């Protein structure tokens, strides 16, 4: 099991208290989080710092951004050794219209999508909306 320090180090990010806390927060959350979620969890910290921390994480492929159609950007931890930028690696995202949670379905990969002649597909974003397992039970 890798420690948080090891994760950050392996991605060439300086280890700071703030970054460790935010990383830990993301690990503990099983769903995608908004910037406001993080903000609420760390009232003491400045919003900008949180924003830039998550942006740094994004650049370094520690988290990936999710646009679930709510208009608010969400973030979730990448899988270990994921290649976010490679199309075939991408998984589905599920947005529950009942509890408003957004979940990475990492086991469910996006099927091969064909586009018309002349179009070049580089990336696919797929969001399923509906009722999550917690809410449907």
Partner DNA sequence: ATAACAAATGCACTTCCATTGCATTGGTTT
Partner DNA sequence: AAACCAATGCAATGGAAGTGCATTTGTTAT
The answer to whether the beta carbons of residues 25 and 38 sit under 8 Å apart is yes
What own/partner pairs with CB < 8 Å and gap ≥ 24 does 12-17 have?
Answer: 12/60, 13/56, 13/57, 13/60, 13/62
Number of residues lying near its own copies (CB under 8 A)? 35
Instruction: Identify the residue among 104, 109, 125, 127 touching Mn ion (CB under 5 A).
Output: 104
The answer to whether the beta carbons of residues 66 and 102 sit under 8 Å apart is yes
CA-based diameter of the chain, in Å? 53
Neighbours of 104 (CB within 10 A): 20
The site string for Mn ion over 2-41 (x = CB under 5 A, - otherwise) reads ----------------------------------------
Residue 32 to residue 28: CA distance in whole angstroms: 11
State which residue, 65 or 106, has the beta carbon closest to DNA: 65
Question: Which of the choices its own copies, Mn ion, DNA, none does residue 86 contact, using the CB cut-off of 5 to 8 A by kind?
Answer: none
103 binds Zn ion (CB under 5 A): no
62 binds Mn ion (CB under 5 A): no
Binding residues (CB under 5 A) for Zn ion: these are 96, 98-99, 132, 135
Binding residues (CB under 5 A) for Mn ion: these are 76, 104
């Amino acid at each position: 099991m890798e420690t948080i320090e090891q994760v950050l180090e392996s991605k060439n990010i300086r280890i700071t208290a703030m970054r460790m806390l935010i990383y830990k927060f993301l690990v503990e959350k099983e769903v995608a989080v908004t910037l406001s979620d993080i903000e609420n969890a760390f009232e003491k910290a400045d919003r900008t710092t949180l924003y830039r921390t998550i942006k740094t994480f994004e650049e370094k492929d520690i988290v990936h951004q999710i646009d679930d159609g709510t208009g608010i950007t969400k973030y979730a931890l990448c899988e270990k050794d994921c290649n976010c930028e490679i199309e075939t690696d991408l998984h589905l995202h599920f947005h529950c219209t009942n509890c408003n949670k957004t979940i990475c379905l990492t086991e469910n990969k996006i099927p091969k999508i064909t586009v018309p002649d002349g179009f070049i597909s580089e990336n696919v974003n797929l969001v399923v909306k509906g009722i999550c397992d917690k809410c449907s039970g």
